[in-house]
């Protein structure tokens, strides 16, 4: 269980850190996603900051387990919100979302399985 916990947590943290970086540097892909979802570009730094906080929280969970649990739960909620934004505009391009969501759910499951809720 420990190996799965470490591996999934690191993979989830790296995925969300990369996504956060693209939002924070103003890459074209997040801009296109926001346009497709009819959201303002002013949300980019906020969304990037949420992703970065989730990524750092997953890493902090190695030292303070409750932070890892909270970060993983926050990322699951973030990606549920992303799904709602996709469905609101009728987008069926959900492969990227599914990968990030599955990784976040897996991180939450292994964090809770390894440490318990508190």
Residue 1, pLDDT above cutoff 90: no
Residue 91 structural domain: 2-115
Structural domains of the chain, count = 1
Q: Is the confidence at residue 18, as pLDDT, over 80?
A: yes
pLDDT tens track for 39-86:
999 999 999 999 999 999 999 999 999 999 999 999 999 999 999 999
35 Cβ partners below 8 Å, 6+ apart?
Answer: none
Find where tokens 């497709």 sit.
36
Separation CA 16–CA 39 (nearest Å): 20
Q: Which of 34, 31, 79, 74 is nearest to 56 (CA)?
A: 74
Is the pLDDT reported for residue 115 higher than 90?
no
Contacts of 63 (CB under 8 A, 6+ apart): none
Q: How far apart are CA 23 and CA 59, in angstroms?
A: 20
> What is the distance between the terminal CA atoms of the chain, rounded to a whole angstrom?
18
* Contact predicate 72/104, CB 8 Å: yes
């Amino acid at each position: 269980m420990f190996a799965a916990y470490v591996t999934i947590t690191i993979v989830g943290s790296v995925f969300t850190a990369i996504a956060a970086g693209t939002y924070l540097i103003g890459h074209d892909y997040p801009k296109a996603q926001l346009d497709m979802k009819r959201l303002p570009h002013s949300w980019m730094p906020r969304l990037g900051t949420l992703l970065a906080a989730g990524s750092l929280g997953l890493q902090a969970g190695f030292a303070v387990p409750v932070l890892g649990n909270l970060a993983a739960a926050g990322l699951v909620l973030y990606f549920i919100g992303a799904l709602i934004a996709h469905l609101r505009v009728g987008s069926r391009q959900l492969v990227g979302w599914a990968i990030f969501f599955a990784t976040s759910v897996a991180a939450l499951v292994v964090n809770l399985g390894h440490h318990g809720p508190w």
